[in-house]
Amino acid sequence: MSVRLTDQPWLTAASTRAVMAALEAAGGPGCARFVGGCVRNALIGVPVDDIDIATTLKPEETDKAIRAAGLKAVPTGMAHGTVTAVTERTPFEITTLRRDVSTDGRNATVAFTDDWAEDAARRDFRLNALYADADGQVFDPTGHGVADVKGGRIVFVGDPETRIAEDYLRILRFFRFFAWYGRGEADPAALAACRERAPGMGRLSAERVSKELMKLLSAPDPRPAMAAMDGARVLAQVLPEATSCAQFDAAVDLTADPALRLMTLLPADAEVAKGVSGRLRLANAVRDRLMQAATAFPSVDLSMSDAAARAAVYRHGVRAVMDALYRRWAEAPGRGDDARRLLRLVEDWTPPGLPVGGRQIARLGVAPGPETGRLLKAFEDGWVADDFPSEGHAERLAALVNRPRE
């Protein structure tokens, strides 16, 4: 049955037509087709963020064709056949049709081809091996891609173990695509292959693994995929520190933040957070959130007073306390009223600066040195414990200076 993309602004945009016209001027009609995610998403009405194009033109020919049309060409991966065309500030990644010559589970040596079926055969999943021409006519070389998209099935192209052996990252990609596009039960053959090949993920770079993991955790509801990962022993391979998924399951209903979802998979331990962040080479911002929330966690609970909440914010920061509150809420999903009240308080409160310093202590006759630090610390502790009073600072400080040392 013929399938055509309709009502797709990106397909009819002037920038898209300019790129396709440039390629067809060099290689003739049909030498270029949209491929992968843009076709898949268009079929199910999901927004299209990236536009990838496959072509029979060799990389040098692609580069020349783009430049001849007056468009910007960026040689982003010539050795692997990729040139990026940029027009109207929109990038189009254009890659020559390829076939794998050899693979080692991490990188592939490729050869260029003009055979669309060969190019499709080296792709990961049938729903990603879809092409469409400039008019939106869809081509489905595997014969199952369109049905998989519409049925929410994530099925490898050909033999799952062979596809995984070519690149072990495809294990995580399977669960990521299942989280975003899958419905019903995961493909049994794919799960079995992922389970069998999971140890091979040790060959992958930490950056590739963490990127896929964070994309998976960003899905609207990653719980079925995470449960499938756990059952296939893939979660233990990627995140051996993960504890019970119960808090994670609850957290998915509370937040779409992937970093917060990740921390609910881990024990509230700053050293564990540091170890995970280092091993997976997580972004510094994510690492800091994991560690700071774990440090704040013991000081936070859903029964705390407003004063205690303000004290926690002063000691640990707004973001860390909010993250810790979400963790507590995931522990006790039924206490939403308490959690929401505290989250509003924390978000709306701005911690004041310490109202005294070394100069005020010096005026009381204390010589600069360790005693100044001790007095400032004692003043701060009392000021925080009393919920940040705005007056009486001089009297409080004088009392500390004049208090006999024990």
Q: Which tokens in the block code for residue 192?
A: 């079995």
Query: Does 105 have pLDDT greater than 60?
Result: no
| Mean pLDDT value across residues 87-96 | 94
Residue 116 forms part of a structural domain: yes
- Rounded Cα gap, residues 229 and 41, in angstroms: 24
**Residue 13 φ then ψ, to 5°:** -60, 145
CB 258 within 8 A of CB 214: yes
- Tens digits of per-residue pLDDT, 126-151? 999 999 999 999 999 999 999 999 99
Residue 104 pLDDT greater than 70, yes or no: no
Residue 163 in domain: no
Question: How much is the pLDDT for 244?
Answer: 73
Distances (CA, A) of 370 to 355, 374, 380: 19, 6, 15
Residue 78's pLDDT band, with cuts at 50, 70 and 90, is confident
Pairing assessment for the beta strands 98-103 and 108-112 based on DSSP bridges: antiparallel
pLDDT at 144: 96
CA-to-CA distance for 115 and 119, rounded, in angstroms? 7
Alpha helices by DSSP H, 198-269: 206-217, 223-231, 234-238, 246-254, 258-265
Report whether pLDDT(100) > 90.
Answer: no
Q: H or E stretch including 49?
A: none
On whether the CB atoms of residues 290 and 273 are closer than 8 A, the answer is yes
With bands split at pLDDT 50, 70 and 90, how would you rate the model's confidence at 108? low
Query: Is 304 within the bounds of a domain?
Result: no
pLDDT of the residue at 32:
97
Q: Which of 116, 120, 137, 138 is nearest to 129 (CA)?
A: 120
Rounded Cα distance, 115 and 101, in Å: 15
Parent domain of 379 = 358-402
20: confidence class by pLDDT, cuts 50, 70, 90: very high
Which token pair is 62? 């692609």
The model's pLDDT over 33-68, given as tens digits with 9 standing for 90+, comes to: 999 999 999 999 999 999 999 999 999 999 999 999
Burial tier of 370 (Cβ tally within 10 Å: 0-12, 13-18, 19+) = exposed
Core vs surface per residue 42-60: b (16+ CB within 10 A) or e:
bbeeeebeebbbbbbbbbe
CATH number at residue 130: 3.30.460.10
DSSP H or E run through 393:
helix 393-402
User: Mean pLDDT, to the nearest integer, of 89-100?
Assistant: 92
Q: What percent of the chain has pLDDT over 70?
A: 97
pLDDT band at 1 (very low <50, low <70, confident <90, very high): low
Contacts of 7 (CB under 8 A, 6+ apart): none
In this prediction, residue 251 has a pLDDT band, given cuts at 50, 70 and 90, of very high
Three-point CA angle 238, 186, 179, nearest 5°: 60
Is residue 289 situated within a structural domain? no
> In this structure, is residue 337 part of a structural domain?
no
- Which tokens hold the place of 281? 């080479």
Model confidence at 172, pLDDT cuts 50, 70, 90, reads: very high
Per-residue pLDDT reduced to its tens digit, 176-208: 999 999 999 999 999 999 999 999 999 999 999
239 is a domain residue: no
Please answer whether residues 175 and 162 qualify as being in contact, where contact means their C-beta atoms are separated by less than 8 angstroms.
no
pTM (predicted TM-score): 0.89
Residue partners of 12: CB distance under 8 A and separation at least 6? none
The length of the chain in residues reads 406
Q: Which helix (H) or strand (E) holds 378?
A: helix 370-385
Last residue of a domain, one of 123, 151, 179: 151
**Beta-carbon contacts of residue 172 (< 8 Å; ≥ 6 apart):** 201, 209, 212, 213, 216, 234, 238
Residue with tokens 């879809």: 130
Mean pLDDT of the chain: 94
Q: Looking at residue 245, what DSSP letter applies?
A: S
3-state secondary structure of 369: coil
Six token digits for residue 134: 């400039």
Domain boundary (133, 151, 169) is at: 151
Domains held by the chain: number = 2
- Token pair listed for 97: 């049709």
Residues 6+ apart with CB under 8 A from 325: 300, 302, 339, 342, 343, 346
Domain final residue pick, 126, 151, 176 = 151
Per DSSP, the three-state class of 154 is coil
In a domain, 266, yes or no: no
Residues pairing with 74 in the sheet: 84
pLDDT tier at 102, thresholds 50, 70, 90: low
251-to-41, 268, 332 alpha-carbon distances in Å: 27, 14, 10
- Position 77 confidence tier, pLDDT thresholds 50, 70, 90: confident
Q: Is there a domain that residue 199 lies in?
A: no
